[in-house]
Amino acid sequence: MPNLYELTAHDAADLLRRKEVTSLELTRSVLERIAAVDDRVKSFVTVTAEKAEQQARAADEQIARGDMGLLTGVPVVIKDVLCTEGVRTTCSSRMLENFVPPYSATVVGRLFGDGAVMVGKANMDEFAMGSSTENSAFFPTHNPWALDRVPGGSSGGSAAAVAAQEGMVALGSDTGGSIRQPAGFCNVTGLKPTYGRVSRYGLVAFSSSLDQVGPMARDAEDCALTLQVIAGYDRHDGTSVEKAVPDYRQALKSDLKGLRLGVPKEYFVDGMQPEVEQSTRAAILELERLGATVEWDVSLPSTSYALAVYYIIAPSEASSNLARYDGVKYGHNVQAAESMWDAMERTRQEGFGPEVKRRIMLGAYALSAGYYDAYYLKAQKVRTLISREFDAAFSRYDALITPTSPTVPFKMGEKLSDPVQMYLSDVCTIPVNIAGLPAMSVPAGFAGGLPIGMQIIGRAFDETTILRIGHAYQQATSWHKQWPKL
């Protein structure tokens, strides 16, 4: 038997169901693992050991009563952008350093309702702005595969925790790639659901028309289980959609015969690392071997505008969302000030880091009178064009396959002084958010010992197909079973 902390959530759940292990044993094994490796990896802002043991005991009672859910007793990690009642929720910002929410996000409530055990809150780029987790106001997270490299971002703490076996599944959030890019960088499986599939209530808002919560895990099956628990309509989120949630695990059972896959050429961008392209193409050949039909030269010409559209829309929404941090309602506040305006200015000056300030300025500029039509409105129109292009592609293909990001994990500090280089890490993931589609990153190879991810993009609300493709691929390959030596 492997160490308990190495188990997938579905294997752990099987052992719990057969009463071969208790949740308290699983939880303690994970907490010991955190104690052993997290001073090097730094996945967590807060470790909730005491609460975890309480929840584990309660889960064991729940199992004894014969009332086991999908993730009952399984240790999970929550990105620190999701509100957790009574547990500090910082967004890795000085602004919220001491913020203890009075309520839990719907997704957190659903996990707890199912009996999952939270072991801690994961580090991230401040307010989810970044691609390396170096924008955390507290400390950067390290890639478990090479500690001098970044784990990706903004959900870098969640990805590193799963890769370093400090939790069996994690929740991340994805506005422009923040689940998929770190999943790719850390050799884990990460799914961004369709916009509206999962509630955003209690997710600290970055860009409300793009943000979506999703699972990061050891394999597609664990993503399916976690999505099953968190998905579905929530009356607290007006953008969550009232649509039946399918049985995702059932869907994993079908093979790939009859599926039509498209490979959009624009995603193999200039400057892409050759090994990333080679691994992605090899993975697509594997999908073909498994029974899918592949069309290699699909074109989505508006793809190249997606990054520009994103860096108008996301900062615009962020500048509006972040206006709430005024030092009056909650969060950091400076009281020794001359006037109300002075207090507000100094609160925001001290509370926000440089990337957050950059985004607020970009957004306020793009929305200001005289520039609104030229930037924001134009970006919204191009957004529609990008969505239509995807719609047309999905009349011919069941899914599109691309690399997750253009490179393997880069060195810490390498892109910190050049924001545009940092923004380019998300060229392959951002178009998906612009169109609100679901997509998943699955491990697809290594270059020089560093992970490479393949992205599977699906039709709106068709998470089932991408999970099925990811699962079939993982039945035939073993990239996702490789673990870093720590």
Residues in CB range of 377: below 8 A, 6 or more apart: none
Q: Is 426 in the site for ligand GLN (CB under 6 A)?
A: yes
Closest separation between CB of residue 207 and ligand GLN, Å? 8
Among residues 101, 109, 167, 176, the one that binds ligand GLN under rule CB under 6 A: 176
For position 314 contacting ligand GLN by CB under 6 A, the verdict is yes
Q: Which is nearer to ligand GLN, 231 or 314 (CB)?
A: 314
The reply to whether 175 sits near ligand GLN by the rule CB under 6 A is yes
Q: Give me the least distance between CB of 134 and ligand GLN, in Å please.
A: 11
Per DSSP bridges, beta strands 213-217 and 189-192 are: antiparallel
Binding to ligand GLN (CB under 6 A): which residues in 324-363?
none
Q: Does 128 bind ligand GLN (CB under 6 A)?
A: yes
Q: Which of 95, 129, 217, 435 binds ligand GLN (CB under 6 A)?
A: 129
* 141: contact with ligand GLN by CB under 6 A: no
Catalytic, out of 178, 316, 405, 425: 178
Count residues near ligand GLN (CB under 6 A).
Answer: 13
Write down the catalytic residue from 29, 42, 43, 79. 79
Report if residue 13 touches ligand GLN, rule: CB under 6 A: no
Q: Which residue is nearest to ligand GLN (CB)?
A: 178
Annotation marks residue 154 as catalytic: yes
Task: Return the number of the residue (115 or 315) whose C-beta is nearest ligand GLN.
Answer: 315
Q: Residue 178 catalytic?
A: yes
**Longest CA span, the chain:** 70
The binder of ligand GLN chosen from 75, 130, 409, 445 (CB under 6 A): 130
Q: Which of 72, 154, 240, 404 binds ligand GLN (CB under 6 A)?
A: 154
**Annotated catalytic residue within 23, 154, 199, 240:** 154
For residue 265, indicate whether it is catalytic: no
CB of 415 to ligand GLN, least distance (A): 11
The site for ligand GLN (CB under 6 A) is made up of 128-131, 154, 174-178, 206, 314, 426
Catalytic residues: 79, 154, 178
